[in-house]
Amino acid sequence: MRKAIPLEKRVAIALYALGSSAEYRSIANLFGVGKSTVGSEKINEYVKGFEILGFPQCLGAIDGCHIEIHPSTEDAIDYHNYKGWYSTVLLALVDARCRFIYINVGAPGRCNDSQIYEKSTLKQQLQECRLLNDMTKKNLERQHSYCYYR
């Protein structure tokens, strides 16, 4: 087994990653660790931020926003949204401090948030992230509670 990364170094990696816009690969090279190590430090920080706000086991907040556009006539039908005007959708995931973690922009206005999420790289990345499964905690109290009515 390899040696654990010292706490001071993990904190330094997390602070550097959160305070800069550098890519994981660059930060990993700077600190002499693997790219996945940098990613896991950021995920831990995101989860801790929401836990402090009273939302345990939350990674981020996600929502879509319609941005008005004026499409060409051939694309108009796809971009006509349920609100009655033409738009493109910005789907964003933010951390507990409202900083963007992920964005997807350009989907036609007729698409809803769940359709955009289903086709996004975000869904794929979350499904493949073993760290999220390892961090999941079971709430035994809730799992075994029953409600009886008289």
Q: Read out DSSP for 113-142?
A: HHHHHHHSHHHHHHHH-HHHHHH----HHH
Phi, psi of 51 (to 5 degrees): -65, -40
For residue 150, name the pLDDT band (cuts at 50, 70, 90).
Answer: very low
pLDDT(147) > 70: no
Kindly state the tokens that stand for 49.
Answer: 């931020």
Kindly state the tokens that stand for 28.
Answer: 């990993």
pLDDT(42) > 90: no
Cα distance between residue 92 and residue 102, in whole Å = 6
Phi, psi of 35 (to 5 degrees): -60, -35
Stated pTM of the model: 0.67
Cα distance between residue 15 and residue 45, in whole Å = 9
- Rg of the chain over CA atoms, in angstroms? 20
pLDDT(68) > 60: yes
- Domain positions in the chain: 1-56, 60-130
Residue range 94-119, pLDDT digits in tens: 999 998 988 899 999 999 999 999 99
C-alpha to C-alpha distances, 73 to 50, 77, 80, 98, 107, nearest whole angstrom = 44, 8, 11, 36, 17
pLDDT(37) > 60: yes
Residues in the chain: 150
pLDDT(23) > 70: yes
Residue 1's pLDDT is 62
Interval 77-101 mean pLDDT: 92
